[in-house]
Chains A and B, each alone.
Chain A
Amino acid sequence: MEPRPKSFYALSAFFILFLIFLYGPTLTIGILSFQGPGGGLTFPMRGVSLHWFRDLFEQQAVGDIWGSFSRSLVLGLMVMVTTVVVSVMGGLAFRKRFAGSTLLFYLIITSLVIPSILVSLGVGLIWSQSGLPVHWATSGFGAQLTWTLPFGLLIMFAVFNRFDRSFEEAARDLGASPWQVIRHVVLPIIAPSLIGVALFGFTLSYDEFARTLLTSGSYNTLPLEIFGMTTNVTTPVLFALGTLTTVFSLLVIGVFLLVVWMMNRRRARHGSDAGKGMV
Chain B
Amino acid sequence: MVLRKNDVTGWALATPLSAVLAVFLVAPIVMIVVVSFWGATEWSIYPAFQFDNYAFLLSSDVTYRVFLNTLKYAFVTWVFTLLIGFTVAYYLAFHIRSLTWQIALFLLCTIPFLTSNIIRMISWIPFLGRNGIANSTLISMGVIDEPVEWLLFSDFSVILAFVHLYTLFMVVPIFNTMMRIDTSLIEAAADAGASGWQTLWHVIVPLTKPGIMIGTIFVVALVMGDFITVRFMSGSQSANVGRMIQNDIGLLQYPSASATAVILLITVLLLIGTLLRFVDIRKEL
Does chain A bind chain B? Answer: yes
Q: Which A residues are within 8 Å of any B CB, using their own CB?
A: 1, 4-5, 7-8, 11-12, 14-15, 18-19, 21-26, 28-29, 32, 41-43, 85-87, 89-90, 92-94, 96-101, 104-105, 107-119, 121-123, 125-126, 129, 142-143, 145-146, 149, 153-154, 157-158, 161, 199-200, 203-204, 206-207, 209-210, 214, 223, 226-227, 230, 238-239, 242, 245-246, 249-250, 253, 257
Chain B: minimal CB distance from A268 (Å): 14
Q: Hey, which chain A residues are within 8 Å of B25, CB to CB?
A: 107, 110-111, 114, 119, 146
Contact B115 A89, beta carbon cutoff 8 Å: no
Known: A92-B13, A97-B6, A209-B228. A125 touches B112 (CB 8 A): no
Task: Check A85 against B16 for contact (C-beta < 8 Å).
Answer: yes
Identify the closest chain B residue to A86 (Cβ).
B16
Q: Does A23 lie within 8 Å of B24, measured CB to CB?
A: no
- A109 touching B281 by the CB < 8 A rule? yes
Can you give 5 A-B contacts (C-beta < 8 A)?
Answer: A4-B95, A18-B84, A19-B108, A93-B14, A107-B21
A11-B87, A125-B254 known; A210+B28 contact, CB < 8 A? no
Query: Does A117 lie within 8 Å of B20, measured CB to CB?
Result: no
Known: A125-B31, A226-B116, A242-B122. A142 touches B23 (CB 8 A): yes
Chain B residues proximal to chain A, CB less than 8 Å: 4, 6-7, 9-18, 20-21, 23-29, 31-32, 35, 84, 87-88, 90-92, 95, 97, 105, 107-109, 111-112, 114-120, 122-127, 129, 131-133, 136, 164, 167, 196, 217, 221, 224-228, 232, 241-242, 245-246, 249, 254, 257-258, 261, 264-265, 268-269, 272, 276, 281-282, 285
Contacts known (A90-B17, A113-B272, A117-B246); A98 close to B111, Cβ less than 8 A: no
Q: What residues of B have a CB within 8 angstroms of the CB of A18 in the complex?
A: 84, 88, 109, 167
Are A153 and B17 in contact, with the CB atoms below 8 A? yes
A8 with B108: in contact, given A114-B265, A149-B17, A210-B228 (CB under 8 Å)?
no
Bound complex: CA A109 to CA B25 (Å): 11
A209 to B232, CA, bound (A): 13
Interchain CB contact under 8 A, B6 and A32? no
